[in-house]
């Protein structure tokens, strides 16, 4: 498996554990709709959080959140709509970003709630 894919998987597992420790209820990981994927979907205080996880080994080229493109935002919104349609219940949707820098023994984690609004 390619190094960047392994790094991404490590980051998603770290993010999942981080969210669960904060009291989030993770409903899905790597949920797919057509060719689109949502890294994590979780419940947080009545919000359905759609979470994009960005993992890097360094922040030399900018923060991982800087790599969320307009196209990615559109993909996430489309996939989120599909997920909400299959749920029974009424949830307010929020789009979060978790950035993880894997450098040294302890990952640096930043959680940006409501990071963007499609």
Query: DSSP readout, 5-67?
Result: HHHHHHHHHHHHHHHHHTT-EEEEEEEEETTEEEEEEEEETTEEEEEEEEEES--TT--GGGG
Mean pLDDT of 33-39: 93
Number of domains in the chain: 1
pLDDT band for position 62 (50/70/90)?
Answer: low
Both tokens of 25, joined, read: 């209820």
This model's pTM is above 0.75:
yes
Looking up residue 33, the CATH number of its domain turns out to be 3.40.1350.10
Q: Which domain holds residue 17?
A: 3-116
């Amino acid at each position: 498996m390619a190094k960047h894919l392994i790094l991404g998987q490590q980051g998603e597992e770290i993010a999942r554990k981080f969210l669960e420790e904060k009291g989030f209820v993770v409903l899905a990981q790597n949920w797919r709709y057509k060719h689109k994927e949502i890294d994590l979907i979780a419940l947080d205080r009545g919000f359905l959080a759609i979470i994009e996880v960005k993992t890097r080994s360094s922040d030399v080229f900018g923060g991982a959140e800087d790599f969320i493109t307009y196209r990615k935002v559109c993909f996430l919104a489309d996939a989120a709509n599909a997920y909400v349609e299959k749920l029974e219940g009424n949830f307010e949707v929020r789009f979060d970003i978790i950035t993880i820098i894997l450098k040294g023994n302890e990952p640096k984690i930043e959680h940006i709630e409501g990071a963007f609004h499609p």
